[in-house]
Amino acid sequence: MGGRNFEICIARPDADGANFLLSDHLRAVGAKASQYEEGMRRELLKLAGVLHDTGKARESWQHYIRGEGSGVNHAFLGSALFFYLVQQHNLPRDMVRYAMFLCRDIACHHGRLDDLEADPPWIGGWQSGALSEMDVEGFRRFLHSECPSFSSLPEEGTRLEQELRQMNRRWRKWFMMQLDSIDDLPTAVGWALRLPTSYLIAADRFDAANIDQDEGINAKTAEVSLGRIEEYVNTEKNRVNSLGGAVMAEFRERVQKAVEGRVQAEDKPITILQMPTGSGKTIVALKAALNHFHNRPGGRLIYVAPYLSIVTQVADVIRTAAALEVLEQHHMALPPVKGAERVEGPLLLMESWQSPAVVTTFNQLFTTLFPAKAQESMRLTALRNAYVVIDEPQIMDSSAWNMFLTMLGSVVRELDTQVLIMSATVPPFQFAHLPDMVTVVESPPLPAESGRFHLSVAGEAKNAQSTAQWALECAHSAGSCAVILNTIADVAQVASLLQEESSITLFVLHGAMQPLHKTYQLHLIKKALEDPIRPTLVVATQTLEAGIDISFRQVLRARAILPSIIQAAGRANRHGENDAATVSVFDFYRDDGKDSRPFVYRDAIMREETDAVLFPERVVTELEIPKMLNSYFKRVFERNNYAAGTQRIIDAANGHWARLAGLEPFGQNYIPQEPVFIPLGGPPDCPEQWIGDDTRELMQLFDVEVEQIYERFTSRGFLRRLDFISRKRFLNLIGRFIVNVRPSLIGLTEMNAQLSIQRLVDVESYSMALGLGHWYLRGAQDEGVIL
């Protein structure tokens, strides 16, 4: 048995004269990962941290990290050694489960999170002879100094390898003992929360990057920010008054004062706040969070919204109103390219929510609670002592709602997290097993004179032609109109009929538009509405539905489900600056007679209950909407309380993690999509029109023009030569030019099966008005929704 002296093995390349010893890394991860656990759990988690990267002591890995060889699998050895050491002890049954889960986590700590199976987690990566290239004796001494209770290893490496090979049978015995032994939800939910995984991964990544965790908002910062907010509220009130929205401004002030005290009382760890759309929920939430940190130990404000458009808007409000440092965590967010002490710092800080205030999407919170990969679990530790705001949860798929709330309850219990859930109407929470954890705060109702819109259900169905004509008439009569349809194909068909109309300013928004193009379109829409030259007409999918601070005089919404329709109504007369606007709900049928609604809204119960309340010719005022939504959710959950998710949580607690991994907030019945690179930065006469400063900075970093980005991506060995952070930055850059399309459109590309991203062959196939939307008019149109 040989190998490099364990004491001089490194965990990563030396830099600036500093030595990054493997022993120091293992020691630090063991200490950091276990700091929040107690008793035997603490000992086991410390052992997992000390062993997780043991395989890096192999001579072949030491060559690799010095650039002298190819990559070497290392996680399997730490997993096998961990099980070898813990199985020597007579652990209680619950600690056996805990140890098995940690053994799995060590094996998966750089990849996907696997299920517990009859075969041990290290078996797939096992490499015979691994111990022959290690200093086993040096490692034994190190292990004894760190974990003396779990350090019984044979003196001879050959004997240790033989004994490790015999562990398969022992593992299977433990597996059979634990198999499906949990059958109740209260027990299961604690095991399903991947908190030990998060402790281990966060400790590993942060020590590797040599950065400390952000302490969040302290009492002094909170006090200063609260003062700033009062100034912001007064300025905003004056702005809305100048627009003619005095009634709404007065109501906002009154309703905020009415609920603030009750929200800030924090009688229970979860508060549900019900306030009308546009009444200032964001400011109420911000004040509540700052008061929380003014009176308690520091932590992070984490604001979670359904769509990227809301994320950007709320982040701007927090920066402006509270003068807080804000991190936006979503696929278009970019940490500063410059100014980091270590190259790992920027992206790690973003991915792990290391900022006093974080604004993120439902998707990111779901990957935190239901991670498919080890890296995703890391954010769970950021929820400790945090104040979490969840905005507009009614948009969430009903089948995911109970599982989400149930796991959120576990977060509250384990991490001392305070949660504020807010919306005009929150779906029922009684089926989520949150015993005595919820306080409901309802605001005063809107005054009769402040109704900003009314819903009107059309008596006749429309097709593309009649919808286009109707929209044109509305734009001319009202000055501005938004048409929101259910699918890209529907949008493309209606918009194509309006393209030659010179009497209006027409805009199109949908998910088959390049992200940079879509962002630029939103900028133009806001400008057109603020300073209209001619009537403004927008034809869009649900992209326009939530969080975008723009206001139309009339909204036409193809029949969807009730929460989506109400969300769309929030784009009508948003500040009450005009007389009540009309939001018209209508049945839209394609020319072949098909209704596209089920392609997107697949829950038949939700469709049926929507139709039961929005019948033809019905008119509903804004004041009636809360009662109607409450009745709607009550009937939906009476017919199906979506309790099937309970069994999925129990299954995950019994080791079947795939049953929860990757749970989506908007449902999982999506049509497959293929990524396509669109080599455009603007129209032919202004080829960089869509490119913002942050995108330009990335392009300068890699010294590329638009057309060269894909060439670099396909260049042999280019990505492999980049360090980890540079590789992620480059993928971030290319992602800004990518549109996800249905597989039938892949014929527009080079169709290179060897590449994960295809390139659009003919840029003229991409319309400056419709993006790739016009291609959705051909072939099957069961596309789902792409936001």
548-602 pLDDT tens trace:
678 899 999 999 999 999 989 988 887 777 888 999 999 999 999 999 999 888 8
Pair 383, 267 in one domain: yes
Summarised one tens digit per residue, pLDDT across range 273-322 is 998 877 788 999 999 999 999 988 889 999 998 876 677 778 888 988 99
Pair 620, 593 in one domain: yes
- Whole-number mean pLDDT of the chain? 88
547 part of a folded domain: yes
Candidates 553, 561, 611; CA nearest to 577 is: 553
Candidates 129, 120, 130, 122; CA nearest to 168 is: 120
In the DSSP assignment, the letter for residue 70 is -
368 part of a folded domain: yes
CATH label of the domain that carries residue 624: 3.40.50.300
pLDDT tier, 728 (very low <50, low <70, confident <90, very high otherwise) = low
Highest-pLDDT range among 347-361, 497-511, 660-674: 497-511
Pair 567, 689 in one domain: no
What does residue 533 show for φ and ψ, rounded to 5 degrees? -95, -35
Helical segments of 243-334, H only: 246-265, 281-295, 308-322
Pair 749, 625 in one domain: no
Pair 607, 467 in one domain: yes
| pLDDT score recorded for residue 672 | 56
Q: Is 754 helix (H, G, I), strand (E, B) or coil?
A: coil
Summarised one tens digit per residue, pLDDT across range 227-263 is 999 888 888 777 766 666 677 777 778 888 889 999 9
Using an 8 Å Cβ cutoff, are 582 and 568 in contact? no
185 part of a folded domain: no
752 part of a folded domain: yes
Pair 533, 634 in one domain: yes
Pair 638, 745 in one domain: no
Highest-pLDDT range among 24-38, 57-71, 175-189, 685-699: 24-38
* Final residue before a domain boundary, out of 386, 403, 431: 431
The Cα–Cα gap between 741 and 674 comes to 5
- Residue 326's region, left for phi above 0, alpha for psi from -120 to 50, else beta, is beta
The Cα–Cα gap between 484 and 493 comes to 13
Q: What count of Cα atoms within 13 Å lies in the side-chain half-sphere of residue 351?
A: 21
**Helix pair angle (644-653, 185-192), 10° resolution:** 60
Q: Is 782 helix (H, G, I), strand (E, B) or coil?
A: coil
| pLDDT score recorded for residue 243 | 62
* Final residue before a domain boundary, out of 600, 629, 645: 645
206 part of a folded domain: no
What residue type is assigned to position 245 of the chain?
G
CATH label of the domain that carries residue 59: 1.10.3210
Pair 165, 33 in one domain: yes
Pair 129, 247 in one domain: no
Pair 576, 515 in one domain: yes
Q: Which residues contact 305 (CB under 8 A, 6 or more apart)?
A: 311, 314, 359, 360, 361, 362, 391, 392, 546, 547
The Cα–Cα gap between 617 and 250 comes to 33
Summarised one tens digit per residue, pLDDT across range 659-707 is 999 998 876 554 556 788 999 999 999 999 999 888 999 999 999 999 9
What does residue 455 show for φ and ψ, rounded to 5 degrees? -90, 135
443 part of a folded domain: no
Pair 602, 465 in one domain: yes
Q: What is the mean pLDDT of residues 714-741?
A: 80
Taking the CA atoms of 746, 752, 758 and 762 in sequence, report the sign of the dihedral they define.
negative
461 part of a folded domain: yes
pLDDT score of 642 more than 90: no
What percent of the chain has pLDDT above 70? 92
Q: How many domains does the chain have?
A: 4
Using an 8 Å Cβ cutoff, are 127 and 8 in contact? no
| pLDDT score recorded for residue 346 | 52
Helical segments of 435-570, H only: 464-478, 488-496, 515-530, 562-569
Helical segments of 509-603, H only: 515-530, 562-569, 597-600
Pair 471, 606 in one domain: yes
| pLDDT score recorded for residue 537 | 98
Q: What count of Cα atoms within 13 Å lies in the side-chain half-sphere of residue 117?
A: 11
Q: What is the mean pLDDT of residues 392-421?
A: 92
Q: Which residues contact 432 (CB under 8 A, 6 or more apart)?
A: 401, 402, 405, 406, 409
Token representation of residue 151: 């350090």
| pLDDT score recorded for residue 289 | 96
Token representation of residue 678: 């669109």
Q: Is 749 helix (H, G, I), strand (E, B) or coil?
A: strand
Using an 8 Å Cβ cutoff, are 660 and 649 in contact? yes
Burial class (CB in 10 A: 0-12, 13-18, 19+), 183: exposed
pLDDT tier, 15 (very low <50, low <70, confident <90, very high otherwise) = low
Domain hosting residue 748, numbered range:
674-777
Helical segments of 336-463, H only: 345-351, 362-369, 374-377, 398-415
439 part of a folded domain: no
**Helix pair angle (75-86, 39-51), 10° resolution:** 150
The structure's pTM equals 0.85
